[in-house]
Amino acid sequence: MTTRQETVLVVDDEPFICRSLSFVLRKGNYNVVEARNGEEALAAVRQHKPDLVFMDVMMPKLNGFDVCAAIKQDPELKNTRVILLTAKGQDSDREFGAKAGADDYMTKPFSPTKILERAREILAR
């Protein structure tokens, strides 16, 4: 019996971060989809129905909080797990993330191993 490969959506407007996260997750045996802004992220979530989304907060078009809230308010997508990524680690940002329905919050910079660990933890829940 083969197990389904889990899909992870990586959303960041910074190409280097997007590429490096995608590389690490692919090495961890995840199917990876990328988006560069909030609008692309919403479209990708609707199209690919990922198991997990790693999403930057500060992005053009729609920010990560807004995209996360839209995902969590959609009955078909609400079980999609979302980890928000940000350079800002203030408590107010964490509160915004929690209100938007984020499953977790990671402050940049982070190590590749932390990304894989966090993906495995969240997907095992």
Query: Could you report the per-residue pLDDT of 53-84, keeping only the tens digit for each?
Result: 999 999 988 999 999 999 999 999 999 999 99
The pLDDT score that the predictor gives to residue 42 is 96
The pLDDT score that the predictor gives to residue 120 is 94
Residue 1: pLDDT above 80?
Answer: no
Instruction: Fold for 7-118, please state it.
Output: Rossmann fold (3.40.50)
Residue 48 corresponds to which tokens in the numbers above?
A: 């690919």
* Average pLDDT of span 114-121: 94
The pLDDT score that the predictor gives to residue 87 is 81
Query: Could you report the per-residue pLDDT of 77-106, keeping only the tens digit for each?
Result: 999 999 999 887 677 877 888 899 999 999
Q: Is the dihedral of CA 58, 36, 9, 44 positive or negative?
A: positive
The pLDDT score that the predictor gives to residue 111 is 86
Residue 114 corresponds to which tokens in the numbers above?
A: 């932390």
Residue 13: pLDDT above 90?
Answer: yes
Rounded mean pLDDT of the chain?
A: 91
Distance CA 31, CA 111 (A): 20
Give the residue from 66, 105, 107 showing the smallest Cα distance to 82: 105
